[in-house]
Amino acid sequence: MRTRLALLLAAAGLLLAFTLATQLVIQDRQQELRHDLLRRYDPAIVATTDLRAAVVDQDTSVRAYGLTGDPGFLDVYTAGRETTITTLARLDELLAGDEQVEPDLALVGAAVDDWHAAAVAPVLDAGSDAERAAVRTDAFEQEGLRLLETVRSAVGDVEGHLVATRAALADDLESTARRARWAMFMQAGGVVVAGVVVAAALARVVLGPLDRLGRDARRVADGDLDHEVRGTGSPDLARLGTDVDAMRVRILGELAHLNAATADLERQAAELARSNADLEQFAYVASHDLQEPLRKVSGFCQLLQKRYGGQLDERADEYIRYAVDGAKRMQDLINDLLAFSRLGRTTAAFAPVDLQAVVDDVVRVLDDAIAGAGAEVTVGDLPVVQGDRRLLGAAFQNLIGNALKFRSEDAPIVGVSASLDGSTDDGEWIVTVSDNGIGIDPDYGDQIFVIFKRLHGRTEYPGTGIGLALVKKIVEYHGGRVWLDPTPDTGSTFKLALPPSPTAGDATHAG
């Protein structure tokens, strides 16, 4: 495009330069003609008239002097003589270089000299009236008239030539002026034509293709991704169009890819949700339906123990005890499982829950266990969060219950506290539940939240392995997270991140 534009501008510039040069040449010629006319030939014509008059003045005054001898006539003669000499010199100067008139001018000079020598000088040289009378014979007069005529005709020749040259110069000047006018028109026309050509070429080579490219690109930008972008005009604009179209095709490909991936993801999410729902439904139905026969097994085993305990041998008593224990454990498992699978089915709307009151209630419920273990439970300032009071209570009961259950030899010290996490924009509440019990290997930090996962045998510490899974499910149900803090040296520390209640602000309660 740059080359094309440069060529275009160069052509326009050349055209302008040509017309300008023509104009200059014509003006130069005009100047020259005007100079010749006004400064050479016009003054020369005037000078020939002066010359003729000066010669006539001399002739008349010399003749009068010859007749009268009055020296007063000699003044007119002297003035005429001087004028003749200076005029001839001036004519020589003005017409220098005009080869046609120079010989004629020389003839004039010669004729004047001849006339002066033969017809004027003898009269002036004569000393007395008698001598003058002797000089002025008829033949002398005749010769004087002839020579004067020669001078007149020589001057006439020069004058004729000058007048003709002047007329030719005037004609030339006129036609040159005409040519100058034409050149000016041509120049103006050239400027207009160059402007039109440049504008048209710009529109064709640059603006038009750019406009089309812009329209195509805007259509694509407005969402019509299938609209092809085509570059036209100069090769670089065409290349630009091809590049933009390649970009469009690339985006189209990526979009198709993305759409496919999104559809895939949505399908998987729907599948996952369905299988999750199926699983929860299954767990619920299974635990619910298992309860009835299990109650029967457990009831009859207890009845067997009560009625026939001590009547059979010792081994039989032991077997019955195992059966009763197993049935009871199974009942606990099924109850916990039922509670777990029920979670999230409730449609009760969340409300602001005062965690302080919740934990106080839990401490009250666990009062016996706390007293039995000789434990000390410290509850700090706890916030109000948005949620389900009953479920949050269950979560804290599990955590505090575990802290009491997995105690070491020392009396349990359990702490519950909260702080606002300033690192995130939402400002989550971080609730910490810590104890000084047997602790948890950080390597099992994730596994302990898996349902039925236990790190100890049932004989060491009772339990079903559902507690922490339930806590995790409850916290996540509230839009939060729970994790095991791997840092403490003694005991275990659990952290719960809970979103703040939108209505409660970030105030905590004194506790």
Interface ranges with ligand ADP (CB under 6 A): 398, 402-403, 406, 435, 437-440, 448, 453-456, 463-469, 492
The distance of closest approach from Cβ of residue 379 to ligand ADP in the complex, given in angstroms and rounded to an integer, is: 16
* Angstrom distance (rounded) from CA 27 to CA 20: 11
The H or E element spanning position 487 is none
Local structure of residue 387 (DSSP, 8 states): E
Residue where the block lists tokens 């020598």: 117
- Least distance to ligand ADP from the beta carbon of 394, Å? 12
CB of 372 vs ligand ADP, minimal distance in Å: 17
**Cα-to-chain-centroid distance, residue 180:** 51
User: Measured from the CB of residue 439, what is the shortest distance to ligand ADP in angstroms?
Assistant: 6
Tell the smallest beta-carbon distance from residue 257 to ligand ADP (Å): 43
* Bridge-based pairing state of the strands 493-498 and 481-485: antiparallel
Least CB distance to ligand ADP at residue 450 (A): 8
State which residue, 479 or 488, has the beta carbon closest to ligand ADP: 488
Which of 201/338 has CB closer to ligand ADP?
A: 338
Rounded Cα distance between 417 and 421, Å, is: 13
Question: Residue 388 Cβ, how far from ligand ADP at the closest point, in Å?
Answer: 20
Question: Which residues are within 8 A (CB) of 411 and not within 5 positions of it... i.e. 6 or more apart?
Answer: 373, 374, 375, 376
Q: State the SS3 of 335-379.
A: HHHHHHHHCCCCCCCCEEEEHHHHHHHHHHHCHHHHHHHCCEEEE
E runs forming strands in 204-333 = none
> How far apart, in whole angstroms, are the C-alpha atoms of residue 447 and residue 468?
10
Q: How far is the CB of 339 from ligand ADP (least distance, A)?
A: 12
CB of 301 or CB of 414, closer to ligand ADP: 414
Q: Of 58 and 398, which has the nearer Cβ to ligand ADP?
A: 398
Decide whether 386 or 464 has the Cβ nearer to ligand ADP.
Answer: 464
Q: b/e for 416-455, b at 16 or more Cβ within 10 A?
A: bbbeeeeeeeeebbbbebbbbbbebeeeeeeebbebeebe
Rounded CA gap, 509 and 490, in Å? Answer: 28
Q: Mind spelling out the 3-state secondary structure of 157-188?
A: HHHHHHHHHHHHHHHHHHHHHHHHHHHHHHHH
CB nearer ligand ADP, residue 300 or residue 444: 444
Residue 51 or 440 having the CB closest to ligand ADP: 440
Residue 465 vs 479, nearer CB to ligand ADP: 465
